[in-house]
Structure 1
């Protein structure tokens, strides 16, 4: 299966929700649409599901025109953020509902419901009502109901946003396991960078209705292609200046080490992740420790650097040995920083 989205646009009055978006999603891929609220990712999901019609552009599934099919005729299922379970039905009935609408035989329905409940680990809870389940269990019922119809494409709209942090982390692993097991293509909409990075094979980052970058999580994190992606995906430290042979030239700091392919003298940004910066006493960028926060296995150290508009964030393993008010120097390897067109 190949889903092709070609120059799709959608406007609501004077607001452009999608501006000539093009993407290709392959069979069995876990694909994430990532971006802030209002960037257009949910509008694209609704177009795929058939709840919105684009103003222009094409969407094809294995070469066939997906937009020509009514929502109920598309080999697609949508799992809603609210789960939308029927409160008066037990788990098995909720999962069986779509199959009953297709008028499948009772034995076939019973067999497929049993298989999918075993897959999501809810066989023992088939007779319970939704209100008797935890948030994570309700999420799994919604997922079971979505995959029991064996869609070729499953759309998930902020599927884990209603869960607390620990349950959300568990369900991220569960979603990835299930996706691998059932072999269905998943497209998930999320504003949570950590969720997208942990789940997806590839991520499309949206800003104001446009796709900024499409990449695998590691490439997206380590080599952002724009200021927006560098700033939105994870924590980052950004320095402005011009590209030079050895990195970034900046009037306050001289040359900061980085790798990139920008022409010398071109306006540029240097992006370096907090965990790539080391604290040293004798060389590097000079600054004063403003704050130290401990997060279990990692400490975040904020360093004020004269001439830089915001504190530089440094992540160190374990408890930090530096204290607020101390003078430190910050260093990193050229290959650990990237130059972005400014």
Structure 2
């Protein structure tokens, strides 16, 4: 008799957020938000401007108080502790470095304010500057550094105090695309190396997907879905998540045997579990759609573009109100004006409650 494999042990919850709401006059910034953030994970708060993610970050940091709800850290009430007494650090979007201080002095500032011994401060500053790869820049001032290096100084200053929780507010938004990609890898490496729980606020899907172990997608102050990046992409749980995370082709109709019944288009293949006749959306990603001689739908190619090793093809299908997007690896022989058939596997499409 074979042994039953043990279920994986999940890390313990570090931060528990329960029923948190915050209003500013007539505006509801957070509406009954409940989340758990686990020890040692890289957690992202993702959503459009005004979705409430920065308000939640400020509540964790102690700069804002909720109207209702609880926040705990290691099971103890966090809200009753003033900002300066929380084992939490916030790395600002602007980095907020002192221009007249050297890199080493910027990093040492918080430790010196705590009254640590000079030798202890020097040792910890050397250690953290080596970790972020800035040991040779210790005596430079911020204006002598590149944008990526200034970002590392801000990160070093945040982690040198060894907080239980590090909050990052749009940490890479000031960097150009190439440096941002490098710093995404660097942030992930550092997070694993120092073992601190990171919570990042961003509106950049690519940033959240590349950095986070789990992502909470917010919209209108509400949590839409919390999941690992791949799961969010492949199995969005709401219409908002399906449209917000990456490119998606969405069809509106009613659940039917084998997929979704769409007026004017017939039954489109998808795996469901929905009761027949239930209103639903079908989502299928551009890379899951095949072009060929036969398929579920037929249309005319409206546009073809090539970028980054992928061909992007837009196809107009009679009866559908927007072009269907198709992504194909490498250059394509398909040209605008060509008649094509579109198809996909039921397992590559997802049904979403409407």
Q: Which residue of the partner structure matches residue 260 of structure 1?
A: 272
Question: Which digits, 9 at most, give the CA deviation of each residue in 1:223-281, with x for residues without a partner?
Answer: 00111000001110000110012000112111100012211100110000011111112
Q: Aligned match of 1:112 in 124, 127, 133?
A: 124
Q: What residue in structure 2 maps to residue 99 of structure 1?
A: 111
Q: Equivalent residue for 1:285?
A: 297
TM-score (norm 2): 0.96
Q: Secondary structure at 1:340's aligned position in 2? A: strand
What is the rounded CA distance, in whole Å, between the counterparts of 1:63 and 1:282 in structure 2? 58
Please list, as runs of the form range in 1=range in 2, the aligned pairs for 1:77-226 lying within 5 A after superposition.
77-226=89-238
- Number of paired residues? 342
Structure 2 residue aligned with 1:340: 352
Structure 1 stretches (4+) deviating beyond 6 angstroms? none
Residue deviations 1:34-64 (CA, integer Å, cap 9, x gap): 0000000000000000000100000001111
Partner SS for 2:149:
helix
Cα separation, 1, equivalents of 2:31 and 2:244: 20
- Tell me if 1:70 matches 2:82: yes
Alignment partner of 1:300: what SS?
strand
Q: Which runs of 5+ in 2 are unaligned?
A: 1-12
2: CA distance, partners of 1:105 / 1:236 = 56
Q: Deviations over 1:279-325 (max 9, x none)?
A: 11223310111111111211110111111111111110011110100
**Is it true that 1:250 corresponds to 2:262 in the alignment?**
yes
Residues 294, 342 of structure 2: 8 Å contact kept: no
| 1:88-123 CA-partner distances (Å, limit 9, x unpaired) | 011101000000000101110010000000000000
Alpha-carbon distance in 2 for matches of 1:16, 1:148: 36
Measured against aligned partners, the alpha-carbon deviations of 1:318-337 in whole angstroms (never above 9, x if no partner) come to 11110100011111100000
Residue 323, structure 1, aligned to residue 335, structure 2: yes
- The answer to whether the Cα contact below 8 Å between 2:258 and 2:272 also exists between their aligned partners in 1 is no
Cα distance in 2 between the residues matched to 1:282 and 1:135: 52
For 1:125 and 1:261, locate their aligned partners in 2 and report how far apart those are by CA, in whole Å: 58
Residue in 1 that maps onto 2:38: 26
Greater mean deviation of Cα atoms: 34-43 or 258-267: 258-267
